C-alpha cells in the first residue's frame, strides 16, 4: 500500500488500533492497514474498507467478518472501526487491562480477535502501572 494511503488513514484513524486501542508508540511499530472485510471475503482495497490496526488484532481477525456473541449465542458482525464508535461497543475493565464488550458486536469482536489474551493483558498491566494506559480519547 502506498505511504500516502497510510498517512491518510493515520489522519482519519489516529495513532491507535481501531479494535484494541493500543497505540503504535507503545508497541514500537507502525499500525497495519487492515481490510475491514477481507479481500478473500469479497472486500476491496477501497478507502472505505480500510482502517488501521495493530498486528496482533489484524492477525487474529484474519478473514473473519462475524463471530458468535458469547452471551446470546447469535452470529454477529464484527466491530467496524470505520463506521462504529468504539465507546458504543467497548469499555475498559476497572483496572484498564481488559476490554469489555458492551454489545453483541463488541462481545463477539473481543472473543474473535482474542483482545484479552494473556500476553496483552500482562502488557497492559505494565502500561497501566507507569501511566501509559488506557489511551486518552
Note whether residue 108 is domain-resident: yes
Which ranges of 14-86 would DSSP assign to H, the alpha helix?
A: 24-27, 55-61
CA atoms within 13 A on the CB side of 18: 25
Bridge pairing between strands 75-77 and 99-101: unpaired
Note whether residue 90 is domain-resident: yes
Note whether residue 136 is domain-resident: no
Note whether residue 113 is domain-resident: yes
Q: What is the structure's pLDDT at 1?
A: 62
Note whether residue 19 is domain-resident: yes
Dihedral pair phi/psi, residue 125, rounded to 5°: -60, -45
Share of the chain above pLDDT 90, in %: 95
Q: What is the pLDDT of residues 8-65, one digit of tens each?
A: 999 999 999 999 999 999 999 999 999 999 999 999 999 999 999 999 999 999 999 9
Note whether residue 88 is domain-resident: yes
Question: Which cell is 70 given?
Answer: 458469547
Q: What is the structure's pLDDT at 2?
A: 72
Host domain of residue 111? 3-129
User: Structurally, how many domains does the chain consist of?
Assistant: 1
Strand partners, 68: 75
Q: Region 116-126: what's the mean pLDDT?
A: 97
Q: Region 67-71: what's the mean pLDDT?
A: 98
Note whether residue 137 is domain-resident: no
Q: 123 in helix, strand or coil?
A: helix
Burial grade of 121 (CB within 10 A; 0-12, 13-18, 19 or more) = middle
Note whether residue 70 is domain-resident: yes
How many whole angstroms separate alpha carbon 7 and alpha carbon 42? Answer: 25
Amino acid at each position: 500500500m502506498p505511504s500516502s494511503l497510510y498517512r491518510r488513514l493515520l489522519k482519519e484513524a489516529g495513532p491507535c488500533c481501531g479494535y484494541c486501542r493500543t497505540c503504535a508508540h507503545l508497541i514500537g511499530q507502525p499500525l497495519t492497514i487492515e481490510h475491514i472485510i477481507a479481500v478473500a471475503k469479497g472486500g476491496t482495497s477501497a478507502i472505505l474498507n480500510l482502517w488501521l490496526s495493530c498486528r496482533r488484532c489484524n492477525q487474529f481477525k484474519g478473514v473473519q467478518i462475524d463471530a458468535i456473541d458469547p452471551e446470546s449465542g447469535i452470529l454477529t458482525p464484527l466491530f467496524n472501526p470505520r463506521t462504529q464508535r468504539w465507546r458504543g461497543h467497548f469499555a475498559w475493565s476497572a483496572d484498564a487491562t481488559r476490554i469489555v464488550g458492551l454489545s453483541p458486536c463488541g462481545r463477539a469482536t473481543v472473543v474473535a480477535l482474542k483482545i484479552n489474551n494473556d500476553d496483552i493483558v500482562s502488557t497492559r498491566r505494565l502500561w497501566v502501572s507507569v501511566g501509559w494506559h488506557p489511551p486518552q480519547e
